[in-house]
Amino acid sequence: MLDQHTSDALFTQAQALIPGGVNSPVRAFRSVGGTPVFMESAQGAWLTDVDGNRYVDFINSWGPMILGHAPEVVLDAVRAALPHSLSFGAPTRRESELALLITEMVPSIEKVRLVNSGTEACMSAIRVARGFTGRAKILKFEGCYHGHADSFLIAAGSGALTLGTPDSAGVTAGVAQDTLTVPYNDLAAVQAAVAANPEQIAAVILEPVVGNMGLVAPHEGFLQGLRALCTAHGIVLIFDEVMTGFRLAAGGAQELFGVVPDLTTLGKIIGGGLPVGAYGGRADLMNQVAPVGKVYQAGTLSGNPLATAAGLAQLRHLQQHPALYAALNATTARLADGTRQIAKELGLNYTVNQVGSMFSLFFTADPVHNLEDAKRCDLAAFGRYFHAMLARGIYLAPSQFEALFVSTAITDELVEMYLTACRASLLAAHGL
């Protein structure tokens, strides 16, 4: 049993001051039960909580820490930038340097605008698409998360062509009317939605590889079909690569699958662990953005000097060490294949999905290709598994519906530690 008395006390205090005691809902452990762990420090593959417990980290701040926690290459860049001030609210050289590096690594991006979060990036990309096309509606996919802007917090209607309804209090029915929602990996549903809304859809936005219903890969030909459909109907295709950008390949999922979107949203890895986001794409689209065009978007802290320093250091390291991706993929394959084999040996036949350095164990024997598939998971058993892994020093996402992220700090020894804990935790979760 973990000693969590300090975490417990801090959570009690936080609940009196912060809604739910957390600043992002999944951190509250509501879906797995128990008290969230409050962290004190992190180095490499390891997290240390306020009670001194140590865990091997498979969340990595939900993706940004691809080099592990506190890599010297990033810390050195931040240390060098720190004495020159924390913010200017004026242009800096590193903003252009980071923009240039992004355009070099992601060829579909000809121009890019830096913002402060993935939510900002996705919200802004949608506005650009609407401004460019003069159309109001967007199409998104069930289970794909693009931040908490109103347009994205829409549940599916009763059928593939039904307009969405608000999935959050505070989102108006008017906003929902402009959002179409269809199942992920269902190209026929997209085609039907486009046909039912001729010349009304400004953009199709999706995670090319989904990380927010657990890890779900696109069917063969799905992304290519979306590209062709959007081209034929003058719809802006937006890839949300906040998670997958610079993680699945140097050029993101679009490089991995060979599909070129019109706009791309980025975040996480491009900040090296500091808050940052970006959206970019074709020059004619990006030239719609003020002060050049009539699509307004602004931000006091956009292009923050510390965030750009950290992001430049991390992206340059990834660009200069391309073999890193093959090693990361091999490590993740060992984790995923080992998890799959252990579940099979225990008679569980659970589904394990993996793409590059992201993977998920789904507590269902059925394949998981979309949100409805993911919803079939045994959530109570997952909660027991999560806590059993935590007790064995393995820090997983506290939700069945979140992907895991692997860093270069995960060694062969830590892979074996994870697999040993996985076997024991699956046994404990099922009383085997």
Known catalytic residues are: 145, 240, 268
- Residue 10 to residue 105: CA distance in whole angstroms: 42
Q: Of 414, 23, 371, which Cα lies nearest the Cα of 182?
A: 371
Say how far residue 170 (Cα) sits from the centre of its chain.
Answer: 24
- Residue 197 to residue 260: CA distance in whole angstroms: 24
Q: Which residues contact 429 (CB under 8 A, 6 or more apart)?
A: 381, 382, 384, 385, 388
Q: Which residues pair with 56 in a beta bridge?
A: 46, 394
- The DSSP line for 260-328 is --SEEEEEGGGGTTSS-EEEEE-HHHHTTBTTTSSB----TTTT-HHHHHHHHHHHHHHHH-THHHHHH
Tally of CB atoms within 10 A around 242: 30
Biggest distance spanned by C-alpha atoms of the chain: 64
Q: Could you tell me the strand order of the sheet in which 404-405 lies? A: 351-355, 358-362, 404-405
Buried b (16+ CB within 10 A) or exposed e, 228-241: ebbeebebbbbbbb
- Residue 34 to residue 408: CA distance in whole angstroms: 30
- Residue 179 to residue 164: CA distance in whole angstroms: 6
Q: Could you tell me the strand order of the sheet in which 236-240 lies? A: 111-115, 277-281, 263-267, 236-240, 201-206, 137-141, 179-182
